[in-house]
Structure 1
Amino acid sequence: MRYLLSWHIREAEMRTRSPAWREEVVAFLAQYEDELFVNSELDWVEVLDPETQAIVVGPGAEVRSGFYNAGGKPSARVWAIRVASRQRAIDIASKFAGQLDTWIEVRECLPSAQRP
């Protein structure tokens, strides 16, 4: 089964966190992502620009500054994982959530959308 995990956080919130917290998070992410990759559970990870760099494109190629879900927190990092069960995806998300002190969005990728 394939899942996408998303970490949502505002740029301003990241700046309010202590330098020690940020260093701890970077070290955790490097170690845990490597562990998932070695276990063949991590397909890929993307780190996204802050929301101040985001744009949205609408019908007729209209371009606006900002991110789509302006009322919520923008995505900061996305992981694509392949695991044997939904529970394993929840276990992985729980570890990220605990270390990052936030909620992690978990969504299964639909089998018909997956390509080799």
Structure 2
Amino acid sequence: MREIVHIQAGQCGNQIGAKFWEVISDEHGIDPTGSYQGDSDLQLERINVYYNEASGNKFVPRAILVDLEPGTMDSVRSGPFGQLFRPDNFVFAVWLLLRGAAVGMGVVATVTAAAEA
């Protein structure tokens, strides 16, 4: 079985990533709350490539969102599919910027946690 951890970084990456999740969610029949609303078994066949199944039959994107500015992340959170993402997977890296290499380590730790989930 293959699984993809989607990493989107910066303003452009997060804007494109937000649109990606809208499209892929529509293709798999996932609504903005993470519930399956589709009508075909094919939609669920490979859903675990992009999503983890959480409690209550909710699907959560295997995605890490990274940015140095809060504006883009707030925009994603308040967007149509913003509630789909795990809050822990939003990496607001401005405080990490002060610690140099810690930026990478913080992102790596979040990616590792997502990959092992």
TM-score, with structure 1 as normaliser = 0.31
Q: Higher relative CO (CA 8 A, sep ≥ 6), structure 1 or 2? A: 1
Indicate the structure with greater helix content: 2
Indicate the structure with greater strand content: 1
Name which one, 1 or 2, has greater alpha-carbon Rg.
1
